[in-house]
Structure 1
Amino acid sequence: MKCKYATPILIALTLGASEAALAYVGPGAGLSLLGALWGLLLAIGAALGFVILWPIRRARRRAKARRDAQTMADTADNEPGQPGGDESPSQRSL
Structure 2
Amino acid sequence: MCLGIPGQVVEIVDVEQSLAKVEVSGVRRTISVRLLADEELRTGDWVLVHVGFAMAKIDEEEAALTLAAMKRLGQAYTDELEAFDSTSIV
Normalized per residue, the structure richer in helix is: 1
Give the TM-score normalised by the residue count of structure 2. Answer: 0.23
Instruction: From the CA coordinates, give the structure whose radius of gyration is larger.
Output: 1
TM-score by length of 1: 0.22
Q: Which has the higher strand share?
A: 2
